[in-house]
Amino acid sequence: MDSAAADGPHSGPGPAANPLGHGPVLLLTGARLTDGRVVDVRISGARIQAVGTVGSLGPLPALPGAPTVTTGARIDLRGYLLLPAPAEAHAHYDTAFSAALPTPPPETSTDLTRRITEAALTSLGYGATAQRTHVRIGDVHGLHRLEAVLTARQALRGLADLQAVAMPRLLTGRAGADGRAQLREALKLGATAAGGCPELDPDPAGYVQLLLEAAREADCPVDLHTTATESAQLARMAGALAPLRPRVALGPCGALARGASTVLATSGVRVVCLPQNGGCTGLEGRPTGLRPGLVRELASARVPLAAGSGALRDQSNPVGRADPLESAYLLAASGELDPEAAYDAVANQARAVLGLPPVRVDAGFPAELLAVRGDSLAGALAGGHSRLVVHSGRVVSRTSAVREFADTVTLALPRQSGGTDG
Mean confidence (pLDDT) of the chain: 89
* Angle of the 109-126 helix axis to the 324-333 helix axis, nearest 10: 60
- DSSP 8-class letter at 210: H
pLDDT given for residue 259 in this prediction: 85
Position 409 scores a pLDDT of 63
Beta carbons of 363 and 375 less than 8 angstroms apart = no
Q: Which of 183-192, 318-327, 403-412 has the lowest mean pLDDT?
A: 403-412
d(CA 334, CA 378): 13
Q: Among 369, 282, 296, 287, which Cα is nearest to 331's?
A: 296
| Inter-axis angle of helices 144-155 and 109-126, nearest 10 | 50
Instruction: Give the pLDDT band (50/70/90) at residue 208.
Output: very high
The count of C-alpha atoms lying within 13 angstroms of the C-alpha of 291, restricted to the half-sphere facing its C-beta, is 18
Tens of pLDDT along 31-56? 999 999 999 999 999 999 999 999 99
pLDDT tens per residue, range 255-311: 998 889 999 999 889 999 999 999 999 998 888 888 889 999 999 999 999 999 999
Indicate the pLDDT class of residue 23, thresholds 50, 70 and 90.
low
Of 174 and 4, more confident = 174
What SS3 state is found at 144?
helix
Angle 63-27-419 (CA atoms, 0-180°, nearest 5)?
160
Measured over the CA atoms of residue 153, residue 398, residue 356 and residue 238, the dihedral's sign is: negative
Which pLDDT score is estimated for 12?
Answer: 53
Residues 24 and 12: beta-carbon distance below 8 Å: no
pLDDT of residue 410: 60
Alpha-carbon distance of 56 to 312, in angstroms, equals: 43
Residue of 256, 266, 321, 242 lying closest to 289 (CA atoms): 256
pLDDT for 13: 42
Tell me the pLDDT tens digit for each residue of 270-281. Answer: 999 999 999 999
Task: Indicate if the pLDDT at residue 15 is higher than 60.
Answer: no
The pLDDT-based confidence of 127 (bands split at 50, 70, 90) is: very high
| Euclidean distance between CA atoms 90 and 309, whole angstroms | 6
The answer to whether the beta carbons of residues 267 and 240 sit under 8 Å apart is no
pLDDT for res 102? 81
Q: 419, 246, 325: which is closest to 85 by C-alpha?
A: 325
3-state secondary structure of 218: helix
pLDDT in tens, 53-105: 999 986 555 555 555 555 568 999 999 999 999 999 999 999 999 998 887 76
- Residue 135: what pLDDT? 98
Specify the pLDDT at position 416. Answer: 53
349: phi then psi, degrees, rounded to nearest 5: -65, -40
At 376-387, the pLDDT tens digits run 999 999 988 999
The strand pairing partners of 358, in sequence order, are: none
C-alpha pair distances (Å), 290 with each of 92, 95, 251, 273, 301:
18, 22, 11, 8, 17
Stretch 187-207: mean pLDDT: 97
Q: What is the residue type of 357? A: P
Residue 98: what residue type?
S
pLDDT tops 50 at residue 1: no
